Structure 1
Amino acid sequence: MLFHLRPDALDARRAAARDATLARLGSYRTAYGKLSQGQVDGLNSLLAALEDAAAVTDLRAAAYMLATVKHECADTWPPVVERGPRSYFNQYDAGTALGKRLGNTQPGDGYRFRGRGYVQITGRTNYDRLGSALGMDHPLMQNPELTLDPAVAYRIMSHGMRKGGFTGKKLSDYISETGCDYFNARRIINGLDQAARIQSCAGALEGVLRASVQT
């Protein structure tokens, strides 16, 4: 666990710790400006998931995960859905080159399996594969909107980033006892697209998290 050492801590204690953590995020506001209530709620939900995650013990990994969400969700923090008119997603439909790469095989798959969640998973193949890895392939395929549930979105992001479920690259390839490479860690999600921007954000968020656990 990232913020507590005892996995059997009382719910009330964890809730109080989360409130205290949020209260200590003044440095976040200093770096990025005032937060809307929606941002606070989304960030609170994500921090709660990280706090309870036994698999995430490195604060730097948590910082990079937060930086990734901040970028992918356009600084809103709750899981998001890819925007655009339905016709926009026709380019990803069955029978198109892009659709074939995404494993879309049925009419309307481009829109049905459009980007959603904290890291914008797209395509029938990714929904099926990640759902199977989490033991919920049937629910995700039947109802892709489940990826907008913060708990589900977090499980997808955590598995994909820790286990290499998105590109084959994983957090431990770039963040370990021997070093921390926030720039190339972008390869976990999407090549080096916006790598420098997310690197900078991860560094700032690492400082925020360190301040919160030391207070």
Structure 2
Amino acid sequence: MSPIKNPTTFFAYIRRAPFGGRLTQGQIDGVNAILDAWEYFKLTDHRWLANILAQVFHETGGRILPVRETFASTDKAAIANLEKAWKAGKLSSVKTPYWREGWFGRGQIQITHKANYLKLGQRLGVDLVKNPAKTLDPVIGARIAIVGMAEGLFTGKKLGDFFSHNTDDPVGARAIVNGSNKAKLIATYHKAFLDAIEAARGAVDAADALPEAAIADDVKPAESSTVMSLLGGTVGTAGMSALLGVNNPWGFGIAALVLLLGAGAGYMFLSGRWSVNRIKGHA
């Protein structure tokens, strides 16, 4: 079960850190893909979820959605980039150029080499050898990231080695994916995601979580699936129609707040909880 009971709070928190004050719809979609995969595998330790999000954040360069190795836009470009780097001596640890046959890194946590495509594909029941590009599907990529980290399918190290009743080691957990590379930095991402998860466990918005902070910056507020789901059940059809023309995020937030307050006041009057009593004048 997802620990995120309040998406407004969660996305408002991660907007600040680790996303640095800006959220795109792609990043929101990527995070939601991880959350959906988390529910799919029925995991429960919030530290595991925070670390998965942190490592994916780093491995994708903050994109959260699946990427190709070197962040190339095409397979051909990825192969060319790796070949160039290898010939320039920048990949000294690589003995065999695995990318030449198409087994370069893909995914939220990039898997390389044919053997790993085979192993992860068999674990998920997906033929990744016949079609390695399936790792670029956000759903499949997210499941690879989670099962790979939970079961130690990337490096032999798994989440349970670093997060348990007796252990809490977000720095050491970097070994699940890539040794100690940027371990302390990724631990700061882990803390930011964990803080957001814990803050979002309650049904009530955190005091410092504004609704407009949960909206993607590159999507008009009226087109944001995140904010529409938050407001739709509260302000009704007429209120939603009034919001559709407001495209400035801050203006949208103010308009949404006014509608919410108005809806609340209307409910209080109609339900009899509030009333207007006329004060009699003196004769």
Match of 1:72 among 48, 59, 74: 59
Please give the secondary structure, in 1, of the residue aligned with 2:201: helix
Identical aligned residues as a percent: 36
Contact 1:114 1:123 in 2 (8 A): yes
Please give the secondary structure, in 1, of the residue aligned with 2:128: helix
Work out which of the two has the higher radius of gyration on C-alpha atoms and give 1 or 2.
2
Mapped to 1, the partners of 2:32 and 2:125 lie a distance apart of 26
Which residue pairs with 2:69 in the alignment? 82
How far 1:125 moved relative to its partner?
1.7
Which residue pairs with 2:94 in the alignment? 98
Match of 1:134 among 95, 100, 124: 124
Query: TM-score under structure 2 normalisation?
Result: 0.61
Give the gaps of 5 or more residues in structure 2: 88-92, 204-283
Match of 2:152 among 164, 188, 191: 164
Please give the secondary structure, in 1, of the residue aligned with 2:153: coil
Mapped to 1, the partners of 2:123 and 2:162 lie a distance apart of 23
Match of 2:12 among 6, 26, 42: 26
Q: Which has the higher contact order (CA 8 A, sep 6+)?
A: 2
Which residue pairs with 1:59 in the alignment? 46
Letter in 2 for 1:117: G
Which residue pairs with 1:119 in the alignment? 109
| Alpha-carbon RMSD | 2.4
How far 1:142 moved relative to its partner?
1.0
Which residue pairs with 1:194 in the alignment? 182
Contact 2:14 2:193 in 1 (8 A): yes
Match of 1:40 among 28, 47, 59: 28
Match of 2:100 among 68, 92, 108: 108
Query: TM-score under structure 1 normalisation?
Result: 0.79
Contact 1:28 1:205 in 2 (8 A): yes
Contact 1:99 1:123 in 2 (8 A): no
